[in-house]
Amino acid sequence: MGQIYGYVRVSSRDQNEARQMAAMREAGVSDADIYLDKRSGADFERQGYRRLLRKIRAGDTLVVKSIDRLGRNYDEILKQWRFITREKCASILVLDMPLLDTRQSRDLTGTLIADIVLQLLSYVAQTERDFIRQRQAEGIAAAKARGVHFGRQAMPVPEKFPEIFMEWSRKELSSRTAGKKLGVSQTTFLKWVKLWGQTNGIETICCETPDEKVQENCK
């Protein structure tokens, strides 16, 4: 009888893998034989999964809680499934779907049933992911149509900016020093300079690029 391995995946470091770990233990997988990844299943460049593939041998069994733990891309799930069962000659047990248990499907009929169920579930997982992305895109578009703005809110120009701006335009201050006086970076100060010129209809103003000491006229 071969070795039993478990594979656990959560999509980010903030998610808790406790339920999957508990399911592995209930299935008879020891903690030392459970491989864990905390990242998206959109691709298979995962350290835990790659170590598992190097470890697993013919006759071994891989246990996962659900088919989407292998990943949520339809084509890639099928590719990995076939690689493990056909090239590695190992079995796969999906705890949430008893039909996907290749330990019991060595005959032609069992293998055919498992393949059909696998393709169906992989397709559903991919479709659900695409649907979520579509809903997110539609939600963002609807919010923008209502005037909702996304991203970090722009920092308001402080009241003392005109005074500092005039000192800077007279070359009494560098843009770096002007920014420090206003409590912002040199880059932010120069953005305010550009905005100030556009708002007040100033066609030609003195400006600097970050880290430059020499001022030039910009049109």
Instruction: Note whether residue 139 is domain-resident.
Output: no
Give pLDDT tens digits for 144-159: 777 666 556 567 788 8
Instruction: Note whether residue 151 is domain-resident.
Output: no
> Is residue 112's pLDDT more than 90?
no
Instruction: Say whether both 76 and 9 belong to one domain.
Output: yes
Instruction: Note whether residue 147 is domain-resident.
Output: no
Please name which of 136, 190, 139 lies closest in space to residue 165, comparing C-alpha atoms. Answer: 190
- Phi-psi category of 96—alpha, beta or left, where left has phi over 0 and alpha has psi -120 to 50? alpha
Instruction: Note whether residue 142 is domain-resident.
Output: no
> Predicted confidence band at 213 (pLDDT cuts at 50, 70, 90)?
very low
Cα–Cα–Cα angle for 105, 106, 110, rounded to 5 degrees: 40
Q: Is 11 helix (H, G, I), strand (E, B) or coil?
A: coil
The residue from 101, 126, 151 where one domain ends is: 126
* 132 vs 126: CA distance, rounded Å: 10
The residue from 103, 126, 149 where one domain ends is: 126
> Is residue 204's pLDDT more than 60?
no
Q: How many domains does the chain have?
A: 2
> Is residue 74's pLDDT more than 70?
yes
Per the structure, the complete domain to which residue 184 belongs is given by 161-218
Instruction: Say whether both 107 and 167 belong to one domain.
Output: no
pTM more than 0.85: no
Instruction: Note whether residue 149 is domain-resident.
Output: no
Write the DSSP symbol of residue 17. Answer: -
Which residue among 11, 91, 105, 175 is the active-site one? 11
Whether 11 is a known active-site residue: answer yes
Torsion angles phi and psi, residue 194, rounded to 5: -65, -45
For 166-202, give one letter per residue: b (16+ CB within 10 A) or e: eebbeeebbbbebbebbebebebbbebbeebbeeeee
Instruction: Say whether both 75 and 119 belong to one domain.
Output: yes
- If you average pLDDT over residues 130-156, what whole number do you get? 71
